[in-house]
Structure 1
């Protein structure tokens, strides 16, 4: 009996719930014009919002390491600078990484600076491939599509020019420092050569005195190159006097390293920077002109407005009927 009573109660409860749902639906149906009015009003408000809302458009560019041709002048200059120590010269890959890492740091600093302004600007840098340092996606958000593309292009060009200028200045400093070092090296070698020449004159003069005192006028040996400094007097006073007389016009005795240093100095002094033909990045994709705006989304806002109108209208209809019932 108890089970039969429970089943009967459950059926009655279910019927009451069905009746309540049907009643709610009928109330909503009777108030459909009110719901429709609210929906129209909220759609109108959504359209008004679309007219006054600030639009956002995002332009994107993809950049990576510069090509070898874009850094050829800088790379050639580094090769000349390290001509005496080629093993220490940076490779093309090293130069590419140097330029692009400097660009990446500068554009990241600019992004933070723009974000901290009174009127913040949105410039973002993200990897194009996850967990890969290159290439990079650089994006800029503005009020119009054209403004976003133009501003992004301007910022990238400005950073590129700044990086190239900074590295070119570093290159000039290195060139000037290397020129000064080579000049100092040459001056040292010339001083040593002059000292060697003066010492040779002293030895010849001493040998001449000995030859005169020994009354040796003519050479008494056939192979003079085998003579030591102490036996030069055997050349005779006549030969020694002629040698001393012409020694003043004799060039300084330089070794091979002097001429190698001289060659390096001439090559480095002739270096000329070409920053206009040097780049710190290469475009995989230039700043594009966005086709779709980021916000506001027209379809979503209108759909949300219509949904809110239906909800508000339904609340009003059900609330009014509830008040009447009470």
Structure 2
């Protein structure tokens, strides 16, 4: 008997739940006009938003370190300036692209801090590798985003080239001063050596005159030392003094190597337009799909939101009507 009562109670509960669901569906169907109006209003609002909302398009470019030819001027200049101590091409490629990355990051930060921020980003394609680098720019039109991204890349590239040009000119001026000082020092040392040689011959001449030696007293001149130079005789010593006075300075091979390096540096000409800090892997693309607003997604959300609001209005209104008689 108890079991039958429980079964009857469960059946009534199920029937009650089914009746409630059906009632909700019926209420919604009867209020379909209200729901439809809410959906239409939501669609109109979404359409207005789509009409006034600013479009956002993202152009993307991928760059890597420059080719050897793109930094050949820079590399050759450093080789002339520093010789064997100059960095190799691989190191220069890494340094230049790192310099480009830093300058571009600074530009992106400054653009983001403007009154009207611009979204410009640069980051490695592979997080664990320095290159290649992916650069993106978000604009209001597809063409505008593409052109502006190419403009910013060229702007930073020209900035790096000018900075390198300034650095090279500073280094050239420094090296010219250093090599010039080195040549002056070597010339001074050579002059002092010449003066010392003349003094030594003059001292030997005094001894020869005091000893009344006018003719050479030795057969082999290569055996003559500083102490025995007077044995060459006063005639020979006078002739040597005259020759030494007019004789040009004697320099070591290092002097001429220094002079050649100085001439190479003085004739060094840098053209910043031939220096580039990057190489395109992918040029700025023309975006096909805009980032926002998404028309299809916006309209779908408008329909769903309008339907939910309409259903809430219908159910709420019916609930209020059915609640008043009970009071």
Do they superpose with TM above 0.5?
yes
Hey, what does 1:179 align to over in structure 2? Answer: 176
Hey, what does 2:229 align to over in structure 1? Answer: 232
Q: Deviations over 1:16-41 (max 9, x none)?
A: 10111111112212222322222122
Matched, 1:164 2:161: yes
Distance 2:229 2:52 in 1: 106
**Other structure's SS at 1:248 match:** helix
Distance 2:10 2:246 in 1: 130
Q: Comparing 69-78 with 33-42, which one deviates more in the overlay?
A: 33-42
Distance 2:202 2:256 in 1: 30
Matched, 1:96 2:125: no
- After superposing on structure 2, the runs of 4+ consecutive aligned residues of structure 1 that deviate more than 4 Å are none
Q: Deviations over 1:195-223 (max 9, x none)?
A: 11111111111212222222222222222
Q: Deviations over 1:265-307 (max 9, x none)?
A: 1112121111101011111111112111110000000101111
Q: How does 1:1-326 map onto structure 2 within 5 Å?
A: 1-83=1-83, 86=84, 88-326=85-323
Distance 2:169 2:3 in 1: 100
TM-score (norm. length: structure 1): 0.95
TM-score (norm. length: structure 2): 0.95
**Other structure's SS at 1:139 match:** strand
Distance 1:222 1:106 in 2: 77
Distance 1:141 1:231 in 2: 90
**Other structure's SS at 2:138 match:** strand
**Other structure's SS at 2:155 match:** helix
Give me the CA root mean square deviation: 1.4
Distance 2:264 2:239 in 1: 40
Q: Deviations over 1:162-208 (max 9, x none)?
A: 11111221111111111111110110110011011111111111212
Distance 2:182 2:283 in 1: 49
Distance 1:205 1:168 in 2: 55
**Other structure's SS at 1:230 match:** coil
**Other structure's SS at 1:82 match:** helix
Gaps in structure 1 of 5+ consecutive residues: none
